[in-house]
Structure 1
Amino acid sequence: MEPRFDRSVLEAATELHHTAPAKLFEYWNQKRGDRQRPTWDDLELMDLWEIARYVVVKDVIHANRDFRFRYWGSAMTDIAGVDGTGKLTSELYTTDAFAHVLEAFWQAIDEGTPIRVAGNATINDKEHLAYEAIHLPLNATDGTIGHLISGYSFVPTCRPADI
């Protein structure tokens, strides 16, 4: 069975309900200071050790509207069943099920602002998961948006067969 994402929210990030997205958003805001966005060089992944397993960092490939996963947290590997580190989104996200995932990534890049996504997912046909994600753009040294850092939370819910 293909992964399924039933998105219920795609919005500018203002209020977050889960630990990893909220802590990442707080850190991002702290690092940006008075600027619109922090740079990749402003961040230290070791500062995020408590939530690093739920964090994914993507390098933006503007010419191809693609991303390369620079860092893929271990919880994401556990949930997705694959380590995305070093891979392109075009290699991993090959079905229509991921269209809204990519839409959220590009909305954060195109608008240059944090984007919150929440909904339900079925991944690897194992569980129904409620999820919340925050996608945060990061400037490259030349001032363009060169990276996207995301924090995720997945909470198992009951399967329809269990109801």
Structure 2
Amino acid sequence: MSMLAATPVGASSEITDTRLRRLYEYWNAKRGDRPAPTRRDIDPVEIPDLLGFVNIYEVQDEPRDFKVRLNGSEVAEMLGQDITGKYCSTVISGPDAVSYKTAFDICVDQCRPAIVETSLAFCGKPYMAQTIIVLPLGSDGESVDMIVTAHSYRAIKTTDQPIDLEAHRSTAGR
């Protein structure tokens, strides 16, 4: 997948990252025969090792935006801030914002999972990339009013020098 790509996901076999695949499989089991599980179906006790990498968004219409209801601690650390209560449109900018919106729109409009890959340039880390699984949640199990995501990070080698990931981690929340 090239950087800044957003694509629908049809099966767990399409997801190469273990963490993202685990959330997808958990979500898929919770939805059963429905297009999407409800927010109440997602029990944090059942996925404790994923929680730091999970965000939950509330879908806002007219204009469409996505309000962060839960910002996982590892996601907040990577972003350098806790974005709980903020809207995606105020946090993410540039080409990354377009990719996020495309993936979130696929999720909401088609009630199906999507995967997106972006840089972290929007938060001052152009040497880092993230892959995100974007999964629909619906209060009625059909129309999407919330989204749950899991994030995976990796360094982008931009020079011939090795990258020390620990040296680049934020101190937010410490």
Into which bin does the TM-score normalised by the smaller protein fall? 0.7 to 0.9
1:41, distance to aligned residue in structure 2 (A): 1.3
Higher strand share: 1
Percent identity over the alignment is 26
1:105, distance to aligned residue in structure 2 (A): 0.9
Give the structure 2 partner of residue 12 of structure 1: 9
Give the match's secondary structure for 1:145. Answer: coil
Task: Kindly provide the CA deviation profile for residues 106-155 of structure 1, in whole angstroms up to 9, marking residues without a partner as x.
Answer: 11111110001235544544462343211000111484211000111001
1:99, distance to aligned residue in structure 2 (A): 1.6
Residue type of the alignment partner of 2:66: F
Residue type of the alignment partner of 2:111: G
The yes-or-no answer on 1:132 pairing with 2:135 is no
The yes-or-no answer on 1:47 pairing with 2:42 is no
2-structure distance, mates of 1:92, 1:119: 14
1:11, distance to aligned residue in structure 2 (A): 3.2
2-structure distance, mates of 1:83, 1:157: 23
The 5-angstrom pairing of residues 56-75 of structure 1 reads: 56-75=55-74
Residue type of the alignment partner of 1:149: V
Judged with a 3 Å threshold, the aligned counterparts in structure 2 of structure 1 residues 108 and 161 are, in CA distance, closer, same or farther, namely: same
Q: Is contact 1:59-1:69 (8 Å) kept?
A: yes
Unpaired runs of at least 5, structure 1: none
1-structure distance, mates of 2:50, 2:67: 21
Number of paired residues?
A: 159
The 5-angstrom pairing of residues 24-103 of structure 1 reads: 24-103=23-102
Question: What is the TM-score normalised by the length of structure 2?
Answer: 0.80
Give the match's secondary structure for 2:82. Answer: coil
Residue type of the alignment partner of 1:137: P
